[in-house]
Structure 1
């Protein structure tokens, strides 16, 4: 019987599982790239849109969750709380608040949120999928229908609006790594 996870002679088909300092980056970038691939598929094949919307939104949501946790972990490393883990679970609002607290500890009054829209978009995504299972399963653990408040999603609009979050979050994490390197 074969194994799912093994090395083989065709090295060009292997991926390295990173164990270095930037492990958060590898995870989050993977979800971001997968979402971008789905976006391209949706643009070229409209017949897939009702199927691919679920993994598309989930991948974006999970990317955001990972980036917020990365901010918390790396920010805590900078301020000297080494083995700190994020407390927010899958709750994007809690992770956002925790991230902001850490960023203010790292950069003080120099840290400014560019616009309230970032927070509003994070809240909107959180409220649509509070437990991070709405875009993964049609029903929750109690058998209740997920995504009751969402009827239609324009994927191009979602992509365009999510870009503001993506650019902000990536700028923050890049800034944290630059601060870490400087220290």
Structure 2
């Protein structure tokens, strides 16, 4: 075992290391959007895509699941939070609902989103609203302040409770794909209503 560690390639910091540089070939650079609205869309979708990629990785590398479950859950939660904030900020003002940027509280965000649905008179023939409300409520319950999957303890050093001893990542990804489809449908509906 020690032979493997000693003989593996090991990167050590060297003088001149800079984490943020531009590549000589512009095609090798990643563009970070300057426009806040564009960044919001890219972040919202990026957090979900990062979680999806990590779940796919875990399906092929089972030993990594216990490490990646934390960023997976955090990224899906962040996707939900940003999706709600995006919808409220983009479509809420047309029905006198103000954007909400000052909280991580999914329950508060969902209530504003639900009020927006009501004010738009959004039909729900498939009764998806209460299903997504339940998913959002579960994320709100297991991680009310968006810190339980980023830190093991709170700001006072007290252990943060963990809601589940285990979870099935493929199922989580599947449910989140459905939630993503729901938010995309709402986006299209609200956009057509304006």
Mark yes or no: TM-score above 0.5. yes
After superposition, the Cα gap between the structure-2 partners of 1:142 and 1:17, relative to the gap in structure 1 and judged at 3 Å, is same
The count of aligned residue pairs is: 176
Dislocated runs of 4+, deviation >4 Å: none
Please report how far the alpha carbon of residue 98 of structure 1 lies from its aligned counterpart in structure 2 after TM superposition. Answer: 0.7
Which residue of the other structure, out of 76, 82, 86, is the alignment partner of 1:66? 82
Shift of 1:53: 0.3
Change (3 A) 1:15 1:77: farther
Matches within 5 A, 1:19-168: 19=35, 21-79=37-95, 84-86=98-100, 89-105=103-119, 107-108=120-121, 110-112=122-124, 114-168=128-182
**How high is the TM-score relative to the length of structure 2?**
0.80
Consecutive unaligned residues of structure 2, counting only runs of 5 or more, are 1-15
Residues 1:15 and 1:169: Cα distance change in structure 2 (over 3 Å): same
User: Is the contact between residue 58 and residue 135 of structure 1 (CA under 8 Å) also seen in structure 2?
Assistant: yes
Cα distance in structure 2, aligned partners of 1:27 and 1:45: 26
Q: 1:155 Cα deviation (Å)? A: 1.0
Q: Once the two structures are superposed, what CA deviation does each residue of 1:47-79 show, in whole Å capped at 9, x if it has no partner?
A: 101000000010000011000000110113444
1:16 aligns with 2:34: no
Greater CA deviation, 24-33 or 157-166? 157-166
Unmatched 5+ stretches in structure 1:
none
Change in 2 beyond 3 A, CA 1:87/1:20: closer
Q: 1:104 offset after TM fit, Å?
A: 2.6
RMSD across aligned C-alpha pairs, in angstroms? 2.3
CA displacement at 1:33 relative to structure 2:
1.1
Partners of 1:85 and 1:3 lie apart in 2 by 37
- 1:54 and 1:136 in contact (8 A); partners too: yes
